[in-house]
Amino acid sequence: MAGNGQKVGVLALQGDFREHLAVLRGLGADAVPIRRPAELDEIGGLVIPGGESSVMDKLSRTFGLAEPLREAIAGGLPVYGTCAGLIMLADRILDGIAGQQSLGGLDVSVRRNAFGSQVDSFETDLDIPAVGEEPMHAVFIRAPIVEEVGPAATALARVADGRVVAVEQGNLIGTSFHPEITGDTRFHEYFLSKVRDAARVQWTSFQT
């Protein structure tokens, strides 16, 4: 199985965290919901789900998770953010509400709800060489867009008009769309490969 029993977390403050837990568990990962700072010490990777980024931001600060999350991200924790999760990982939010903060880590500028409202949700096929040759069917729901990719980050996918909808930087991945609802597990597998690699590096460092 792709997960090999790794313990990974899904931020479970708000949004579609249950869908991510189901996908990860289906891949063999020991996936657990994360709601408290102490729980971060038990995981080797984290998924930040879709939802409402401004609410997620407020709840992460209310529950005392924001700073521990920033420290974990800066320390190399593999993290995969979808939709609102991408916004949470972005260094720059171009149209956040008053006082909205992100966790940062991805050298990108994002725009919230860039494709419009819920009624403007759409689906399309994307070429994403990083996760395989076959196109990926992607679902966009009130999705953000990456308007600027800084030098530290890499674009992984674009929609037909050239706008960026998936990025990575080191152990961090972000997508504007929702692989957790389409049955295509390749992004979750890609994330788990980063978790395995990070654990291997940590073990090697410990041994030496």
The pLDDT tens digits of the residues spanning 9-37 come to 999 999 999 999 999 999 999 999 999 99
Residue reference for tokens 């974990």: 72
Q: Mean pLDDT lowest for which of 8-17, 25-34, 63-72, 115-124?
A: 115-124
pTM score, whole prediction: 0.93
Determine what percent of the chain is predicted with pLDDT higher than 90.
87
User: pLDDT averaged over the chain?
Assistant: 93
Question: Is 206 a residue whose pLDDT tops 90?
Answer: no
Q: Give tens-digit pLDDT for 135-171.
A: 999 999 989 999 999 999 999 999 999 999 999 999 9
Question: Is 126 a residue whose pLDDT tops 80?
Answer: yes
Least Cα distance to 47 among 199, 207, 190 occurs for 190
What integer is the mean pLDDT of 179-193? 97
Query: Any idea which residues carry the catalytic annotation?
Result: 83, 178, 180
Cα distance between residue 154 and residue 165, in whole Å: 11
Question: Is 6 a residue whose pLDDT tops 80?
Answer: no
**Could you give the angle at which helices 186-207 and 17-26 cross, rounded to 10 degrees?**
70
pLDDT at position 208, please?
Answer: 52
Q: Where are the beta strands (DSSP E) in 21-121?
A: 30-34, 46-48, 79-82, 90-93, 106-111
**Could you give the angle at which helices 53-62 and 66-74 cross, rounded to 10 degrees?**
100
pLDDT at position 159, please?
Answer: 95
